[in-house]
Homo-oligomer: A and B are copies of this chain.
Amino acid sequence: MARIVAKFGGTSVGDIERIERVADKIKREVERGNEVAVVVSAMSGVTNQLVGYCEAVSPAFDEREYDTVVSSGEQVTSGLLALALHKRGIAARSWQGWQLPIYTSEAHGRARIERIETAEMEKGFKERGEVAVLAGFQGVSFAERIATLGRGGSDTTAVALAAALNADRCDIYTDVDGIYTTDPRVAPKAKRLSKVSYEEMLEMASTGAKVMQTRSVEMAFKRQVPVQVLSSFNEDIGSDMPGTLITKEEEIMEQYVVNGITFTRNDAKVTLQNVPDTPGIAADVFGPLTEANINVDMIVQNVSPDGKTTDMTFTVPRSDLNKTVDALKGAGLSDNTKTADNVSKVSVVGIGMVSHAGVAQTMFQTLADKGINIQVISTSEIKISVLIDEEYTELAVRALHTAYGLDAEDAA
């Protein structure tokens, strides 16, 4: 007997028929003698509609009321899935965040899970053989208000619940059948990884692979929860199913040097030229941006050639570019600012690169061979990111995918 947490995203529960299919999967896990907790998202489209309502009423909304409104979608799905399980003769009950409860911080709209009480849910497993169906994406603050965890928060709910229940596995059912070396829509030769380390997944999630919310990977890493990414449209279930296991590095035998090529679009680049190279200058620049709630991504500052002035480059979401320029103006920093809104960030990610020389050089040479100019470089131990002209994104991704030996042999 195993204890399993299974999470189903919005497209997996997009209509009644799909909810029925999810119930079939759960039934088979129960018939194997497993204890199962299911975490569900809202039916696809519902959350967007609810967010739209809030924005229509008031663009500057109170996050507590926003959370009250948008959390209702998962509540609906949790009840419907419990009903679909009953129809199959499976004991089940829905749980809302406030019922368990899942206590969160007061940071409404992007709350963090502080504590999950699982005693009642475990009593359901043991005493009533009951499947628990938990509404994802939400908990309750200590002030007893509904608090949501931010978009994609159901992944975090699932991983946190798996950690709290000491589950054997957390299965993330989604509309793709695993983690790929890159986006198959861009590089048809992309292949599915059977295993990937937490560290790599974390870099991949934060540099553009959208399969799991970054915070949920972070939590899985910290709490060492084995996570499987699986397709909800496949007939198999759980461990019988091809998918990707996200696990500890030492459990991954065969390791490529580079395991994935990721990319983001919709970035904008801002360069401040000839800023004084004095202590505190970075704080002077980024203070106003933090206050304006702008999420700054890559930050690069080179050594000062003359010891007096330096150039500083950073990226922001393209939609925040105007706000960024305004904030810099407000701080008296706009004189030598150059901006570009046609850049994309391409990254190569892999645990293997820490012990292999020349990984960066392969990247730079590959891009040079295709005539792609690198504007900015930023590296971590297991990742190299470059900023390039957006037009070259697909070309760069495909070339790097081939250069690092990631192409599937049987692909077109």
Contacts and interface: CB of A to CB of B under 8 A. Distances in A.
Interface in A60-90: 61-62, 64-69, 71-73, 75-76, 78-80, 82-84, 86-87
Interface stretch (A48-56, A246-254, A297-305, A337-345): A48-56
A65 B83 contact: yes
A19 B93 CA distance: 34
A94 B61 CA distance: 13
A144 interface: yes
A108 to B, nearest CB: 11
A57 interface: yes
A61 B145 CA distance: 29
A75 B72 contact: yes
A20 interface: yes
A355 interface: no
B68 A94 contact: yes
Given A58-B87, A98-B98, A65 B53 contact: no
A96 interface: yes
Nearest to A72: B72
A58 B72 contact: no
Copies in the complex: 2
A16 interface: yes
A57 B19 contact: yes
Nearest to A23: B57
Contacts of A16: 53, 56-57
A82 B99 contact: no
Given A64-B93, A94-B65, A84 B57 contact: yes
A87 B19 contact: no
A399 to B, nearest CB: 48
A67 B76 CA distance: 10
B68 A79 contact: yes
Contacts of A84: 57-58
B93 A80 contact: no
A308 to B, nearest CB: 50
A353 B69 CA distance: 50
A246 to B, nearest CB: 32
B75 A68 contact: yes
A394 B229 CA distance: 64
Nearest to A19: B57
Interface string A264-281: 000000000000000000
Among A64, A68, A84: residue with most chain B CB under 10 A? A68
Report which residue of A69, A71, A79, A94 has the largest number of chain B beta carbons within 10 angstroms of its beta carbon: A79
A239 to B, nearest CB: 28
A64 B80 CA distance: 11
A83 to B, nearest CB: 4
Given A57-B84, A57-B87, A79 B94 contact: no
Q: Which of A66, A69, A72, A76 has the most CB of B within 10 A?
A: A72
A93 to B, nearest CB: 7
A83 B57 contact: yes
A53, A83, A98: residue with the most chain B Cβ atoms closer than 10 Å: A83
A282 to B, nearest CB: 37
Contacts of A78: 68
Given A53-B80, A80-B53, A93-B64, A69 B58 contact: no
Interface of A: 16, 19-20, 50, 53-54, 56-58, 61-62, 64-69, 71-73, 75-76, 78-80, 82-84, 86-87, 93-94, 96, 98-99, 144-146
13 contacts: A16-B53, A50-B76, A54-B83, A57-B80, A58-B87, A62-B83, A68-B76, A68-B82, A68-B96, A71-B75, A72-B73, A75-B75, A99-B145
Given A58-B83, A65-B79, 10 more contacts: A16-B53, A53-B76, A58-B87, A65-B83, A69-B75, A69-B76, A69-B79, A69-B83, A72-B73, A96-B146
